[in-house]
Amino acid sequence: MWKTEWFTFYSLHYLRKEYDMFVLALISGFHECLSTPTDHLKSYMLTEMGADAFLPDITPSASPQPLLPLLAPSPLTPFTNSTIPKLSGLCMLNFTSTQNLMTMTSIDCWAAFAPLLENVICCPQLHATLVILVGQLSKETGVLALNRTLAKPCLSDIEQVLEGQGAGENLIQVCSIHPSNLTEASCPVKDVDEFENTVNLSELLASCEKIDPVKECCDQVCQGAISDAATRLALKASDPLSMDGPHVLPEHSTRVNDCKTVVLRWLASKLDPYHAKEILRGLTSCNVNKGEYT
């Protein structure tokens, strides 16, 4: 009995296997009928070549080449292909530590757009760069200004560095910058020690270390602290009793403005260049919005 059941099971299994092979052969034959001789050749070649045929042919003496597509050129090519500037060799400003700042300034003052956006983007950024460069240098020299002998070659070097990175030509003339913009001008205080003994440092830092550009333009917290500090510095060279006289008012106003630059340099010396740039640009934006920036 068991032999009969085993024979029946084996027969059915064999017939099912034969049936599957028959169907497969039938489908294959039907495909062969529809295929062209070229398709037969391709099929044979793919079968014979194997998977290794699709790998790059690397000889033992050659370095393997990466399987990467061609990449488009960087959109910042004009700024990354810098030329070597011709520097005077007299300037003490550290362009290396402020390299990112100089690159940002050259982008903001790119030759194609500098004449169009000079008062909105380029010149405010350039003025901020000058403040930061002198402020950072004061950490080594203890002085918040350059002397008049070095101001001119330093200004030329700054222009050369920026032009070498793609900035427009004659930026100094375009933005009305003079060597006096690197000195103390008419401000009577330039030494860091004297500055810190004259100004309320805690109030100045608390007001300007971090600002909200929108709120600052309305509340003028940092601007007020800067004006107060600049006035204190200006008084070092003035007679307090004659401050209300109409004849000395214009001179005093100019001195206060020059001292504001000294105050900004001191702030820049207490912050990293990027943070200082954000603060200075935020303050400048308020002046631009009020139409006071020229």
Q: Give pLDDT tens digits for 109-161.
A: 887 776 666 778 899 999 999 999 999 999 999 999 999 999 999 999 999 99
In this prediction the pTM is 0.69
| Cα–Cα distance measured from residue 215 to residue 220, given in angstroms and rounded to the nearest whole number | 8
Q: Are 110 and 167 in contact (CB under 8 A)?
A: yes
Which residues are bridge partners to 250 per DSSP? none
Q: Whose CA is closest to 263, among 135, 150, 127?
A: 135
Q: Are 169 and 118 in contact (CB under 8 A)?
A: no
The residue written with tokens 């106003």 in the block is 253
| Cα–Cα distance measured from residue 263 to residue 134, given in angstroms and rounded to the nearest whole number | 11
What six digits make up the tokens of 294? 């020229």
Measured in Å, how far apart are the chain's first and last C-alpha atoms?
Answer: 112
Q: Whose CA is closest to 211, among 281, 258, 162, 272?
A: 281
Share of the chain above pLDDT 70, in %: 64
| Cα–Cα distance measured from residue 179 to residue 163, given in angstroms and rounded to the nearest whole number | 18
Contacts of 138 (CB under 8 A, 6+ apart): 144, 192, 265, 266, 269
Q: For residue 254, give Cα distances in angstroms to 88, 222, 223, 225.
A: 31, 20, 17, 18
Q: How many CB atoms lie within 10 A of CB 195?
A: 25
The residue written with tokens 């900035």 in the block is 167
Give per-residue pLDDT as tens, 15-69. Answer: 444 445 544 444 444 444 444 444 444 444 444 444 444 444 555 555 555 544 4
Residue 290 has pLDDT above 60, yes or no: yes
Q: Whose CA is closest to 166, among 88, 74, 51?
A: 74
Which residues are bridge partners to 143 per DSSP? 191
pLDDT value at position 271?
94
